[in-house]
Structure 1
Amino acid sequence: MKRAEQFYTAVFTFSFEKDNIDGYEMSLFPFEEKSSGITGALVKGDVYKPTKDGIIIYFKNR
């Protein structure tokens, strides 16, 4: 989790909001209710198994 947080913080220059929901450690991407857009979270828990065949995320910067 720490390595992923460091990566995204360096790339996007923001800070995560930390939370623990239903026993899962979460690092929430910033989001403002009054702004449009999407958000997400890094989640750490026993049901999540990182693999080299995991998801691919694409970002587009305008």
Structure 2
Amino acid sequence: MNANPFGWVEIPAMDLARAQTFYQQVFAYQFDTLEMGETMMAMFPFDHEKPNASGALVKGEGYVPQKQGFLVYFSVEDVAPTLKNITKAGGKVLQEKMSIGEHGFIGLFEDSEGNRLGLHSRQ
């Protein structure tokens, strides 16, 4: 296999419109929506020609926001200003920008739905 091991991420949302607004305000993402039966998805931007994974915000049975367990990191230019955007958009900073040595920097946050997520940057 000649790619990174992860191909897709689904982030639970109790209120899909609220979650979309949060992520639009923080990252300036535009979403495409998809309905699959009772499950609603708001797809993050995705370019099949580029590496890395993408994903969707998902509202549906079995999708429950989590503060524990696995942790997904969004790649950003700089963690610090993104954490400020998170606070402005109604999220909560859980870990300020922190060095992880030669691997860059991380920060943790809680989104509008109560999910614990991370940010990663090289600077």
TM-score w.r.t. length of structure 1: 0.74
Do the aligned partners of residues 61 and 16 (structure 1) sit closer, same or farther apart at CA in structure 2, a change above 3 Å counting? same
Gaps of 5+ in 2: 1-15, 78-123
Q: How many residues align?
A: 62
- Equivalent residues in 2 for 1:13-52, closer than 5 Å: 13-50=28-65
Over the matched positions of the two proteins, sequence identity in percent amounts to 37
Cα gap change, 1:35/1:52 in structure 2, threshold over 3 Å: closer, same or farther? Answer: closer
Q: Which residue does 1:5 correspond to in 2?
A: 20
Structure number with the higher strand fraction is: 2
Distance in 1 (CA, whole Å) between partners of 2:68 and 2:42 is 22
Larger deviation, residues 16-25 vs 52-61: 52-61
Alignment TM-score, normalising by the size of structure 2? 0.42
Any stretches of 5+ residues in structure 1 without a counterpart? none
C-alpha spacing 1:56/1:3, structure 2 compared with 1 (3 Å): farther
